[in-house]
Structure 1
């Protein structure tokens, strides 16, 4: 049967969204790490941290609560001054951060720290929280901007963590259900195991659907519109936003979604043609299931999209 806005908001509040008490717990854990890391850095004259920003889905309020299939991670961006962006590498920055982390948490096993793409990761076993430490060399001429490195090819891209947070906040101000829709899309992605479709890409596709189709219709209808957009477009049309400014990149990747804060960065550059087809097929199947679920008097069909944890009322 069709799910009402009330039912889907219930599902979002009680199943999808990170609870307030957990958000507070994670904030405290991250704040302690930030404090200790900054304290350690003060003793190292060769590195200077000018700003620390919590980023990613946690800061955008689009994160899902922790389950077996939905891990919780927080990106923490450290803006670093006094480093030459043309001479620095991710390896050198990550090694410095890694050494500091080992000093802060000497009782933790080395396996708790992993060098991952663009970040060193701290995993707190107790809460299940993962914190990605993202070193960014600040651009002194542009507040909030800096250079971030890619661990695979050593390339660097400009980023602005506060701007990316503001991008989602602006969409939330346009549409009160924007974050709910993003969380629904992430839950579908996780349950369907559509791994090539990253969270940032989901946020941007949802923002594009909002920009092109508006916010008319029910939450359920608009979620189906999100799936239908992917299925019909095949993700073959380039997506950009009013925030994008020159210079613009020229891309030949199968999927092109411009980073709203840096038009030379294609957020989806790592999606292969095979993966594009996989995403489109999954969205087509999900759209058909959602349409069928909308007319069937059986919430069990919706569970084919969101998993057995779907709950829309007391």
Structure 2
């Protein structure tokens, strides 16, 4: 239904191109900065014996091609996983982030200040003041396998099994079968949730959660209909309807890299399982009030999308979609 109104697939595709997608020049600058950091890190880590650098892998939204234009203060522009192997068993894993931060500081020497290097839960964030770019580098203890599995180490020294290679394979396989609309749909949904967070600073919804909801609907469809990745208004309506009608109370599990039976029971408010780690619910930190808040936002957006599909004028339809994407949405 949503694809039949004034704001159709072509209109949303144009909005994505103009307002959501990362421009080619900016994408090239991101890659240049990441490659610079990669080359310098490789050189510096070689002469520090605490950890041996095994490999560096691009990760996150930039590597998946689901990144959107970033506003100041919003997350990172690019992500990198630094696969390392401990050469000294006496070095505490909890110190790994501090060790990696010190190596990053050495890469840039005196060209940056201490505040440009910030340790988060599991990564070192590097802010490049000249370009405004931000790169997150996450240390991963390499397990030695060909699938790049390793332990992501948090600041508290906790271990979380991950694999950059398998995460990229997971989304690339779906994009290969679904076509380019699959990734564009994810970017549009990320733009929607960004606008929601602008209006409600307490709203929680990480982009990885959206990616996995889309992956689930691509495999299962909604209400007997495949996910319409080539009709963005309809696909967005399907995603919103799924969130609202299930209340995000139905567990989402994938079988690409493990058997679904390996996932244990959970009482978490939202249960969406990491496709490469059956022990990792990516929404484990979301509380019941977080679930309700997200469902309420989706319900409000669904009302607007449904109204836009039957709106009598272009202006009315545009106004409805503007509630999802903000004042930058120009519409039909």
Pair in the same fold by TM > 0.5 = yes
Helix, strand or coil: the match of 2:195?
A: helix
- Distance in 1 (alpha carbons) for counterparts of 2:164 and 2:6: 38
Q: TM-score scaled to structure 1, two decimals?
A: 0.93
2:263 is matched with 248
- Distance in 2 (alpha carbons) for counterparts of 1:46 and 1:281: 49
Q: After superposing the two structures, state which structure 1 stretch, 3-12 or 32-41, moved more.
A: 3-12
Helix, strand or coil: the match of 1:220?
A: helix
Correspondence for 1:168 among 171, 174, 179? 171
Query: Are residues 1:215 and 2:234 paired?
Result: no
1:127 is matched with 131
Query: Are residues 1:311 and 2:301 paired?
Result: no
1:155 is matched with 158
For each residue in 1:35-57, what CA deviation from the matched residue of structure 2 results, as whole angstroms up to 9, or x when unmatched? 11111011112221111111001
The answer on whether the counterparts of 1:72 and 1:128 sit within 8 Å (CA) in structure 2 is no
Go from structure 1 to structure 2 and tell me whether the alpha carbon gap of 1:87 and 1:235 turns closer, same or farther (over 3 Å shift).
farther
Helix, strand or coil: the match of 1:101?
A: helix
- Distance in 2 (alpha carbons) for counterparts of 1:250 and 1:84: 37
- Distance in 1 (alpha carbons) for counterparts of 2:73 and 2:305: 21
* Count of matched residue pairs: 311
Helix, strand or coil: the match of 1:228?
A: helix
Go from structure 1 to structure 2 and tell me whether the alpha carbon gap of 1:274 and 1:58 turns closer, same or farther (over 3 Å shift).
same
Deviation at 1:255, TM superposition (A): 0.6
- Distance in 2 (alpha carbons) for counterparts of 1:295 and 1:86: 66
Query: Are residues 1:269 and 2:284 paired?
Result: yes
- Distance in 1 (alpha carbons) for counterparts of 2:141 and 2:256: 22
Flag structure 1 segments of 5+ consecutive residues without an equivalent. Answer: none
Go from structure 1 to structure 2 and tell me whether the alpha carbon gap of 1:78 and 1:3 turns closer, same or farther (over 3 Å shift).
same
The answer on whether the counterparts of 2:66 and 2:186 sit within 8 Å (CA) in structure 1 is yes
Question: Aligned-residue CA RMSD in angstroms?
Answer: 2.0
1:52-71 maps to which residues of 2 (within 5 A)?
A: 52-68=56-72
The answer on whether the counterparts of 2:50 and 2:91 sit within 8 Å (CA) in structure 1 is no
Q: TM-score scaled to structure 2, two decimals?
A: 0.88
Go from structure 1 to structure 2 and tell me whether the alpha carbon gap of 1:167 and 1:187 turns closer, same or farther (over 3 Å shift).
same
Go from structure 1 to structure 2 and tell me whether the alpha carbon gap of 1:237 and 1:64 turns closer, same or farther (over 3 Å shift).
same
Helix, strand or coil: the match of 1:14?
A: helix
Flag structure 2 segments of 5+ consecutive residues without an equivalent. Answer: none
1:9 is matched with 13
Helix, strand or coil: the match of 2:284?
A: coil
The answer on whether the counterparts of 2:55 and 2:83 sit within 8 Å (CA) in structure 1 is yes
- Distance in 1 (alpha carbons) for counterparts of 2:118 and 2:103: 13
Go from structure 1 to structure 2 and tell me whether the alpha carbon gap of 1:310 and 1:200 turns closer, same or farther (over 3 Å shift).
same
1:287 is matched with 302
Deviation at 1:72, TM superposition (A): 4.4
The answer on whether the counterparts of 1:2 and 1:220 sit within 8 Å (CA) in structure 2 is no
Q: After superposing the two structures, state which structure 1 stretch, 8-17 or 278-287, moved more.
A: 8-17
Query: Are residues 1:107 and 2:107 paired?
Result: no
The answer on whether the counterparts of 2:76 and 2:136 sit within 8 Å (CA) in structure 1 is no
